[in-house]
Amino acid sequence: MKTIIWYQNDLRVDDHRPLEEALRHDDPIEGHYIIPQEELIENRFGHTPLGPRRLQFLNESLDDLAGSLAALGIPLFVHVGHPLDMFEPTDRLLFQRSIGYNERKREREVMTAWQGECQAFDGFMLYPRDEIPFEKLPFLFTEFRKAVENDARPDRLIERSPAKELRAVDFPIAYEQPRYDARTAFPFRGGERAGWERLAAYLAGPVRTYKETRNGFGVDDSSKLSAYLANGSLSPRRVLHELEQHERSYGANESTYWLYFELLWREFFQWVALEQGKRLFRAQGIRSKQKTWRVDDDVIGRWQAGETGVDFVDAFMRELNATGWMSNRGRQIVASYFAKELGQDWRIGASYFESMLIDYDVASNTGNWAYQAGVGNDSRDRRFNVTRQQDTYDPTGAFRNSWL
């Protein structure tokens, strides 16, 4: 018998409970990462979930993970398909649970069919369930935040440093290397070491002014940790641990708190996704709010291409297409415009983001899109005034000029 670590969105060795459990046994250990076939073909909205930039970042992250596992004597294998077609169900299986509906369904299929020892661990969220003081999650983030931020504590951090060497995996998908665009606000590689380096660099200075700069469009205007959190190269516990270390050394301020505040937004959307399951992806959203959505292919095509004629929207969409990145402010603006001004089915926009964003995360992406469409966790059903937004956040037109 051997021990299998089934990797999903937990591409690290630090703070990794399945790995630590595996190392407690004397059996041979293998790491496996499996890409679902459906992520490589067009979905019902006409988008391939794993677009080229996401594939590149995934490949880089797996190369980094393979190096760290090799230092522990553990090989890493990468496949396309379903876990039950790859594993011997009498071995020991260890894995970290995912959040998305389809991912949880796949995990249930595996656990139902498994004949040997099988252990599933939590680790994608900051807090364990018994630290969330609600039987039913509150609808609004503010209520969640106030109850959690003062009393909840994460599980103990399991510290393990990544190795310094990469090891190229046998990546089973051929893809065209995306062209690098020097204008990108995300000039980073994938992988755990890259995530640690970015976290250290951000906490070394830029975090001190995060509250003032977070709506900007430059490299250090925001943390740029979301991609590493999304594929699990960093655990949220590691980020909080390092942030608290920084505050003990240099003092807390509004900006260091605001980075924690954003971790709580991420946390909130993860719990919403778990609680709502398949309902999160309905056209009427979790509010069951009846709206008439349109699907106009030419309108959607112009929005995707950054050719709507609305400069601020077009600049953000061209940045996304060229780099796989867009600021949080930009995401809110283009999502609101797509759903509220163009009246298009918000799920199509969310699907396009899934294909394009390096930092795609099912709960955050879907939760934010539903929020902007007025069918998610927003009681006010707000609408962004694009002209006012560009006058506030790009008054000189510098961002627009760089992309148009």
pLDDT in tens, 57-92: 999 999 999 999 999 999 999 999 999 999 999 999
The four Cα atoms 122, 125, 130, 136 give a dihedral, to 10 degrees, of -120
Percentage of the chain beyond pLDDT 70 is 100
Nearest alpha carbon to residue 359 among 176, 213, 180, 186 = 186
Per CATH, the homologous superfamily of domain 3-121 is HUPs (3.40.50.620)
3-state helix, strand and coil shares in percent for the chain, rounded to the nearest 5: 50, 5, 45
CB atoms within 10 A of CB 60: 18
7: its two tokens: 């990797």
Q: How far apart are CA 356 and CA 84, in angstroms?
A: 29
Collapse the DSSP code of 371 into the 3-class scheme (helix H, G, I; strand E, B; otherwise coil) and give the result: helix
**Known binder of ligand: residue 224?**
yes
115: its two tokens: 């004949």
Instruction: Give 374's contacts (C-beta < 8 A, 6+ positions apart).
Output: 285, 287, 289, 291, 339, 340, 381, 382
**Digit-coded pLDDT (tens) for 153-182:** 999 999 999 999 999 999 999 999 999 999
**Digit-coded pLDDT (tens) for 316-363:** 999 999 999 999 999 999 999 999 999 999 999 999 999 999 999 999
Q: How far apart are CA 161 and CA 19, in angstroms?
A: 13
Contact between residue 226 and residue 331 where contact means Cβ atoms under 8 Å apart: no
Nearest alpha carbon to residue 225 among 89, 81, 126, 153 = 126
C-alpha distances out from residue 87 to 30, 39, 274, Å:
11, 20, 27
pLDDT exceeds cutoff 90 at 381: no
Domain spans of the chain, in order of start:
3-121, 125-156+191-277, 282-403
**Known binder of ligand: residue 379?**
no
C-alpha distances out from residue 327 to 186, 211, 241, 253, Å:
10, 14, 25, 23
- 149 DSSP 8-state letter: T
**Tally of residues, the chain:** 404
Instruction: Give 174's contacts (C-beta < 8 A, 6+ positions apart).
Output: none
Nearest alpha carbon to residue 210 among 328, 315, 353 = 328
Contact between residue 189 and residue 195 where contact means Cβ atoms under 8 Å apart: no
Q: Report, as an integer, the average pLDDT of 146-154.
A: 92
pLDDT exceeds cutoff 90 at 225: yes
Residue type, 182: A
Poorest-confidence range of 46-60, 155-169, 372-386? 372-386
**Known binder of ligand: residue 361?**
yes
Q: How far apart are CA 111 and CA 299, in angstroms?
A: 44
Q: Which CATH number fits domain 125-156+191-277: 2.120.10.10, 1.25.40.80, 3.30.565.10, 3.30.1490.20?
A: 1.25.40.80
C-alpha distances out from residue 323 to 250, 290, 306, Å:
34, 35, 13
Q: May I ask the CATH class of domain 282-403?
A: mainly alpha
Nearest alpha carbon to residue 271 among 363, 133, 350 = 363
pLDDT exceeds cutoff 80 at 379: no
pLDDT exceeds cutoff 90 at 382: no
Q: Report, as an integer, the average pLDDT of 309-316.
A: 98
287: confidence class by pLDDT, cuts 50, 70, 90: confident
**Known binder of ligand: residue 225?**
yes
Mean pLDDT score of the chain: 96
Q: How far apart are CA 183 and CA 403, in angstroms?
A: 9
Q: How far apart are CA 43 and CA 118, in angstroms?
A: 31
Contact between residue 230 and residue 361 where contact means Cβ atoms under 8 Å apart: yes
Please, which residues bridge with residue 95 across strands? 6, 120
Q: How far apart are CA 107 and CA 119, in angstroms?
A: 11
pLDDT exceeds cutoff 90 at 284: yes
- Whole-model pTM above 0.95? yes
45: confidence class by pLDDT, cuts 50, 70, 90: very high
Q: Report, as an integer, the average pLDDT of 241-262.
A: 98
**Known binder of ligand: residue 222?**
yes
CB atoms within 10 A of CB 157: 14
Strand 118-121 relative to strand 29-35: parallel, antiparallel, unpaired? unpaired
Strand 118-121 relative to strand 76-80: parallel, antiparallel, unpaired? unpaired
Contact between residue 276 and residue 371 where contact means Cβ atoms under 8 Å apart: no
